[in-house]
Amino acid sequence: MALTTLQSIDAEIKQLEAQKKLVEKRDSEVPKAIEVLQRYARVLTPAQRRKLAKIFGSELGAETANVSARAARARKIGRVAPKYRLPTGETWTGRGRTPVAFAAWEKGAEGKAWRKANEGARFPAIDGTPVKAPASTATTKASRGAAKKTGKKAAQKATRPAKKAAGQ
């Protein structure tokens, strides 16, 4: 009995030594893995970064944490309070494409009458005060282009008589 026990203990010692070698090899590869993760931290999603931070703790480095914090701030948008309310109760923040209900109201008789009464405003505001409609970029660009052309034509007309007089 003592002999079998001694043999089983020797076998267990050999098995544990083999496991120790595997653990030492794995532990030597961890710093390399952390270095690779730090290098590619920018392409990881914030959720992936959080999981890695839980696994590695602070070993992942401050760079990864900073990238994660910046990404979280940049993506945190939140809801925007509505800016416009129609008499029907429909609301709109004023961002993005005009909702169908607002476009229909604007083209309808009620919308046209409201716009005449509130010149320069496009839709009724939530608090009741009319909100000035921003100048559309197409209109602004067209007016700038017209002003430039007018200015060039005026300058050309002003220099023509001087050129003719100099030539004669």
pLDDT computed for residue 145 by the predictor: 58
H/E stretch holding 102 reads helix 100-107
Contact 92, 99 (CB under 8 A): yes
pLDDT computed for residue 107 by the predictor: 92
Give per-residue pLDDT as tens, 92-117: 988 889 999 999 999 999 988 988 88
Q: Residue with structure tokens 């959720």?
A: 47
Residue 121 pairs in a beta bridge with: 132
pLDDT computed for residue 17 by the predictor: 93
Give per-residue pLDDT as tens, 110-150: 988 988 888 888 888 888 766 665 555 555 555 555 555 55
pLDDT computed for residue 78 by the predictor: 75
Contact 92, 102 (CB under 8 A): yes
pLDDT computed for residue 164 by the predictor: 55
Enumerate residues 6+ apart whose C-beta is below 8 A from 118.
124, 130
Contact 131, 83 (CB under 8 A): yes
Enumerate residues 6+ apart whose C-beta is below 8 A from 20.
none
pLDDT band of residue 40 (cuts 50, 70, 90) is: confident
H/E stretch holding 92 reads strand 91-92
Give per-residue pLDDT as tens, 7-38: 889 899 999 999 998 888 888 887 887 788 77
pLDDT computed for residue 32 by the predictor: 81
pLDDT computed for residue 46 by the predictor: 82
From the list 7, 18, 63, the residue with the least C-alpha distance to 39 is 63
From the list 148, 156, 146, 114, the residue with the least C-alpha distance to 133 is 114
Give per-residue pLDDT as tens, 41-94: 778 888 887 887 787 765 554 455 555 555 556 556 678 888 999 988 889 988
